[in-house]
């Protein structure tokens, strides 16, 4: 029989070095594949990173940042807890956008880092931070610089969708290096919800919209977003909506023809008896299959936030989630 001390040491090693299953604890996930490895980036200290070869068994990797000095200067009280990353690959570089923000305020910034590889064992592996791309300031801006998502238009021009609450979701044209807003500046509002300044914090409908994610499919651009409330565990009411447009800049409308700028949005997926709420999604395509990547609040585990991956099918030009 093993001595107790040795037993617990081995148990600790197994707990910290073996992989976790699909329901790993994540918030705001986005996924990409390099070679045979899937990489998951999500909200966490320094930006949490996980890797997998089958999207089922996951290994925790080292966070992207040990520290982020410019974030400390930009946001009072910042403790390296970085929100809602977005990962893209373009012309030989991986672009990682991320959010630095004060909770519940639009004291927020979106930053960007690049890498030539995502494999930590590669000698070329090194994240190079390019700092702040855009910033929102209370009293000056009625938008919030968080939840970035990057898409290139048909002319190869990069755009960034972002935002939460306030006046809703925005789309802005970036320069060729993705390090700043392009000039002359081009801004577009793409989705919002009606503000109710008298609604209690626990109710829906008071501008609760965030996490834009845009893809091009066929003849349409599809805008996914999350509405109602995240981050409340068993009280979460998070759900995902979708609209589409013929142009990247909109206007986006739902299946009923209601503009997303006027509180429209077809419900894609919402909470049920197993999940209190679901949201902050990415849409990824692997081996010709589209997947919805998101987090849900597990009703069977005290509302803890966990990773979910569901195949995304298409019916008459609209996405559907079928279990």
Residues marked active site are found at: 28, 210
Q: Left (φ > 0), alpha (ψ -120 to 50) or beta: where does 37 sit?
A: beta
Phi and psi angles of residue 39, each rounded to the nearest 5 degrees, phi first = -120, 135
Segment (H or E) for 51: strand 48-52
DSSP labels for 251-296? --B-TTS-BGGGT--EEEEE--SSEEEEEEEEEEEETTEEEEEEEE
Which among 180, 140, 184 is positioned nearest to 160, based on CA atoms? 180
Three-point CA angle 281, 282, 283, nearest 5°: 125
Which among 132, 202, 197, 191 is positioned nearest to 164, based on CA atoms? 191
Torsion of CA 270, 276, 282, 288, to 10 degrees: -70
Which among 172, 282, 302 is positioned nearest to 226, based on CA atoms? 282
Phi and psi angles of residue 100, each rounded to the nearest 5 degrees, phi first = -120, 120
């Amino acid at each position: 029989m093993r001595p107790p001390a040795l037993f617990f040491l081995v148990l600790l090693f197994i707990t910290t070095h073996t992989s976790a299953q699909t329901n790993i604890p994540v918030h705001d996930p986005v996924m990409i594949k390099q070679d045979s490895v899937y990489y998951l980036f999500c909200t966490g200290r320094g930006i949490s990173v996980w890797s997998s070869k089958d999207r089922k068994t996951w290994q925790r990797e080292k966070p992207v940042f040990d520290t982020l000095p410019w974030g400390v200067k930009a946001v009072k009280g910042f403790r390296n807890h970085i929100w809602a990353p977005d990962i893209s690959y373009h012309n030989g570089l991986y672009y990682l956008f991320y959010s630095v923000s004060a909770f519940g305020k639009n004291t927020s910034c979106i930053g960007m880092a690049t890498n030539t590889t995502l494999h930590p064992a590669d000698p070329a592996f090194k994240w190079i931070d390019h700092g702040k791309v855009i910033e929102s300031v209370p009293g000056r801006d009625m938008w919030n610089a968080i939840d970035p998502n990057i898409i290139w238009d048909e002319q190869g021009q990069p755009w960034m969708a972002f935002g939460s609450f306030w006046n809703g979701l925005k789309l802005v044209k970036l320069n060729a290096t993705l390090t700043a807003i392009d000039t002359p500046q081009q801004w577009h509002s793409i989705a919002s919800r009606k503000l109710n300044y008298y609604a209690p914090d626990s109710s829906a409908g008071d501008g609760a919209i965030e996490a834009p994610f845009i893809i091009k499919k066929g003849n349409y651009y599809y805008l996914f977003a999350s509405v109602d409330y995240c981050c409340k565990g068993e009280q979460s009411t998070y759900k995902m909506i979708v609209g589409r447009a013929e142009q990247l800049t909109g206007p986006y409308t739902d299946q009923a023809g209601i503009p997303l700028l006027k509180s429209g949005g077809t419900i894609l997926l919402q909470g049920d008896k197993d999940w209190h709420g679901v949201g902050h999604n990415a849409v990824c395509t692997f081996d010709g299959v589209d997947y919805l990547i998101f987090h849900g609040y597990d009703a069977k585990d005290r509302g803890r936030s966990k990773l979910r991956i569901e195949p995304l099918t298409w019916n008459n030009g609209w996405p559907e989630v079928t279990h």
